[in-house]
Amino acid sequence: MALVIAECQKEVKINMVDLIKRDPFFRGLAWPTWDDFDEPASRGLKIHETDTDIVAEAVVAGVPAKDVDVHIENGVLTVKAEKSEEKKEEGAVETSTRRYYYTAALSGGAWDKAKAEVEDGVITITIPKAEAAKPRKVKVTTKKK
């Protein structure tokens, strides 16, 4: 089980349809729908396990590997990524910044053997499971009286 806190900052243009979809009074104070949870921050970090590894995948679109920082301390995984660009054209300056920040509390990993790779805007962090955390079959016997 992992506790996940994610923050994703990105400039977006919002149109009136998006505002109406998120207006609770427009929907008649209805319960949230699955569409309400379909935001970049909620889908930015995914964690799953295999028999041998804990695998975390995070969106870091537009940020090269050299600008991505991964830390694991006491089972807490932190991913930070930031890329700033500035364009100057005929007296005008356009700046853009992409920032990503993810953190998750994990357990059962061999933290010193973690590996991270960036491909197509997604960083994949693979952490081998500690021997004590790997699944194993336990033999069941009948208690003798």
Q: What is the domain partition of the chain in residue ranges?
A: 3-11+40-133
Strand order in the sheet with 76-89: 3-9, 92-105, 76-89, 68-73
Task: Express each pLDDT in 116-134 by its tens digit.
Answer: 999 988 999 999 998 887 7
What is the CATH code for 3-11+40-133? 2.60.40.790
**pLDDT higher than threshold 50 for residue 76:** yes
Confidence at residue 1, expressed as pLDDT on a 0 to 100 scale:
40
Burial 57-93 (b: 16+ CB within 10 A, else e): bbbbeebeeeebebebeeeebebbbebeeeeeeeeee
pLDDT the model gives residue 18: 52
Q: pLDDT tens digits, residue range 22-57?
A: 555 555 545 455 454 444 444 688 999 998 999 999
**pLDDT tens by residue, 57-74:** 999 988 999 999 999 998
112/130 Cα distance (integer angstroms): 10
